[in-house]
Chain A
Amino acid sequence: MTTGIGRAGCGLCLVLGALSGLVTSGEIEAQETPREIIDRVDRILRGESSHGFATMEVVTEHWERSLTMEMWSLGTEYSLVRITAPRKEAGTATLKSGDDIWNYLPRVDRTIKIPASLMMGSWMGSHFTNDDLVKESRLVEDYDIEIGFEGLREEAEIWEFVLTPAPEAAVVWGRIDFEVRKDDLMPTWARYYDEDGELVRTLQYGEYQEMGGRLVPALMVMVPHDKPGEKTLVRYSDLDFDVEIDEGFFSLRALQSGGD
C-alpha cells in the first residue's frame, strides 16, 4: 500500500526493500490503473525486509552536516535506523513501529517516544519530517491518483501521476506530481504543491544502480523551495533485500542495544 512518494519523506524507508516477486516492465499491462502501477513501483522499491547503509547530507542556510547510518526494515510497519558516524552522533537510533516513532539517545541513555507535537519536526535536522516516516503507508488511502501525462519526456517513456488528496484526507498537500520511468519502473521525481498550486518541495531521484540484485535509485535529494540553497541528500552505499529478520528485531530493546 505504500508508494515511493510516501516515503519521499522517509528517504530511508524508500529503498529499504525490494519485492518478493520481481516485476519486470514487460508484465505491466496497459489497462492497469494508476493505483496498481504505483503499487508495483512501490513493491519494487520495498521487499519483505531489507538491510542497508547510507549517508545523509543536510545543507541549511546556517550549517551543514553529514551522517552515516545503518538501516533495517520489515514490511511497511517496521524500520530501524542507527547513526554510525560521526562519532558524536553514533548510536543515536530511530525505531518506527506502526504509527509510532521512538528515538534513542545514547549519550543520555534515554528512549523518547516522539509525541504528536513533534511529528512534523525535522528528522535528525534534515528536511524530512518524523511524519514522513510514519505517514508513508497512508498515501494510497489519502490520495486519488490519475495519470497526468504519459509518453516520451527527456528521451524516456514516462508516466506522470497526479495525486490529489481525497476530500477529507488529513494531508497538507494540495497536489503531488510523481514521475516514473516506464521501462524500469524507476521514480525520477516527486513534486509537492500547496493548494494554490505553488511548488513547496521536490524530491529528486538519481544514480540508479544495482544493489542487492535490484535496480534502485541510490540517491535522493529533497529540496524545500521556500528555503533557497537548502537541501537534504540521501545516498545508499549498500543494500540487501529479503534478509532474515522478524518483528522481534524491531523492539525497544533492540533500539537501545544497537540492533546486534
Chain B
Amino acid sequence: MERGRLMLRLAFRNLRRQARRSLLTAAAMVIGGGLLIFSVSLGDGTHEDWIESGVRMGSGHIAIQAPEYAVSRKIEDRLSTQSVAAAREGLRSPDIAESVLQVVPRLTTGGLASSPMGARPVEVVGVDPVAEAGFSTLDERVVEGRYLEPDDRLAAYVGAELAEGLELRIGSRMVLTAQDAEGEISGQLVRVVGIFGTGIPEIDQRIVHIPLQTAGTWLRAEGAVTTVAVLLDRSRAVKRTAHHLEDVLAAPIAAGDLAVLTWQEAMPELDAIVKVDDLGNYMFQGITFGIIALAIVNTILMSVLYRHREFGVLQALGFTPRQTGTLVMAEGVVLTVLSGLLGIGLGLFVTWFFWRDGLDISFTWQEDWTFSGVVLDPVIVPLFRAARVIQGLLFILFVGTLASLYPAYRATRIDVAEAMKFER
C-alpha cells in the first residue's frame, strides 16, 4: 500500500517534471477520448432513430404473435380473441404498463388487390384506425384523401405506387382477394379513402390498410389478430419489458398460444444493420486508438530511453527492475486515465453543447435515405448513456496499459553499471 502510493507520487512527479512531453501525449488522448464519445453518442442516437422508425413501420418494439406466425406469416397462425385479451391484460400489469406507449392489434395477410386495370400482390393490414394513427407514421404520409377513421367500413388506405399501378383514385373500388381463416379464397370490396407516399417502393407498392373489423369479417377471423404490436417509450426498455411480459404471460406461452418477440427477433434485418454499423464504429475507434497507442508508446519509450541514467541511479539506490517497470507503467496509466477522463468530459460537453438538439447531416444526402424499409431522419440527435462512458474509460485504460507495457519492459532491462557509466 505504502509502496503503491510512493509509486504514484513518483509517477505524478515524473509527469509534471516533463510537462511539455506529458501534455503532448495527453493531447492525443484527449482528442481520442472526445472523438470516441462524440461518435458513440451520435452512433447510438442514429441507431435509436433507425429502431424508432423501424418499429413504427413494423411490428413495434415488442410483438405478440402466435408462435408459428413469425415463420409462416399465414392467417392460420393467428391469436384467438382470448389470447389477445390475455396479451392486453399482461400489458396492463404495473411493471410493464409504465414503459408502454401504444398497443395496436393488427390482422395482416398477403393477398391481391385488383381493379379493372389489373391486379397486384399486396400486404393487407387490418388496423384499429385510432390506435394505429398513434403508432405508425404511415398516417402522416397522406398524399391525397385521409387516413382511416373509426367509422370507416369499406375503406382502404393505399400506397401511391399501388394506386398508380391500378389507376386508383379517391373513391375508386378495389377488390382484395386472399385466403381466409378457413382456407377459402375470399374477396372483399373496399373503396380508396386515402393514398400515402413514403418514398419507399416496397411500402408504397405493397401496403394496404383497412379497418380491423372489415378485415375480420372478410377473412372470417372476427376478434382475432395476427400481431399485437407494442410501442415502448425507449428501445432500451425492450429487453426488460419483454422478460416481464414473458413472466406475466407464462401460462399462454407454455400452452403454445402466443409468443413474445422483441424487435430484434421480429426484424432481424434491422438488428443486423444496427450491429454492422456498430461494428464499423468500433473498428474506426480501434484504428484511432491504435494510432494514439503508438504515440503513447513512442513518448513513454522515449522518456524511458532519455532517463536511462535516472533509472540506473534509482536501481543503484535499491529499486528492483520490477519496481522500475512498475513506475513506468504507473506513469503511462496515470497519463492515459487523466487525459482519457478529460477527453471524455470534453467530448460529452462539446457534443451536448453544440448538437444536443441534433446534428443535421442532410446536406450530405441527395435525397431521402432508406434502409430496408426504414426512412432515415437526416437530423441525428446524440444519445448519452452512462454505460458508454464507462465502456470508453475502460477502453482507454486498456489502451494506456497496453501502450505502457513495452516501455516498462525496456525499463526493467537497464544494466545499472552501463547506465551509470556515461553522462548522456
Question: Which A residues are within 8 Å of any B CB, using their own CB?
Answer: 99-100, 115-121, 129, 131, 134, 165, 168-174, 192-195, 198, 200, 226
Contact = CB atoms under 8 A, between A and B. Distances in A.
Interface residues of B, number: 25
Given A116-B112, A172-B116, 5 more contacts: A116-B178, A117-B112, A119-B119, A120-B118, A170-B187
Main secondary structure of the interface of B (DSSP, over half): strand
A194 B115 contact: yes
A116 B177 contact: yes
Contacts of B117: 194, 200, 226
9 contacts: A100-B185, A120-B177, A131-B119, A168-B189, A169-B189, A172-B175, A173-B116, A194-B115, A194-B117
Contacts of B111: 116-117
Contacts, number: 67
B345 interface: no
B186 to A, nearest CB: 8
B188 A120 contact: no
Nearest to A200: B116
Interface string B140-176: 0000000000000010000000000000000011111
Nearest to B173: A195
Query: Which of A116, A120, A195 has the most C-beta atoms of chain B within 10 angstroms of its own C-beta?
Result: A116
A194 B116 contact: yes
A121 B177 CA distance: 12
Contact of A116 (B154, B174, B179): B179
A118 B185 CA distance: 11
B121 interface: yes
A99 B185 contact: yes
Contacts of A198: 116
Nearest to B119: A120
Contacts of B404: none
A174 B177 contact: no
B2 interface: no
B179 A115 contact: yes
Given A170-B188, A171-B189, A120 B114 contact: yes
Contacts of B178: 116-117
Nearest to B169: A196
A226 B167 CA distance: 12
Question: By CB atoms of chain B within 10 A, which of A119, A134, A168 has the most?
Answer: A119
A79 B179 CA distance: 21
B184 interface: yes
A129 B112 CA distance: 13
A99 B114 contact: no
Contacts of A172: 114-116, 173-175
A134 B114 CA distance: 15
Contacts of A195: 116, 172-173
A194 B189 CA distance: 14
Interface in B344-379: none
A100 B118 CA distance: 20
B185 A119 contact: yes
A192 B118 CA distance: 13
A121 B372 CA distance: 27
B223 interface: no
A116 B178 CA distance: 5
Nearest to A201: B116
B116 A170 contact: no
B173 A120 contact: no
Contacts of B118: 120
Contacts of A118: 112
Contacts of A169: 189
A123 B174 CA distance: 21
Nearest to A129: B119
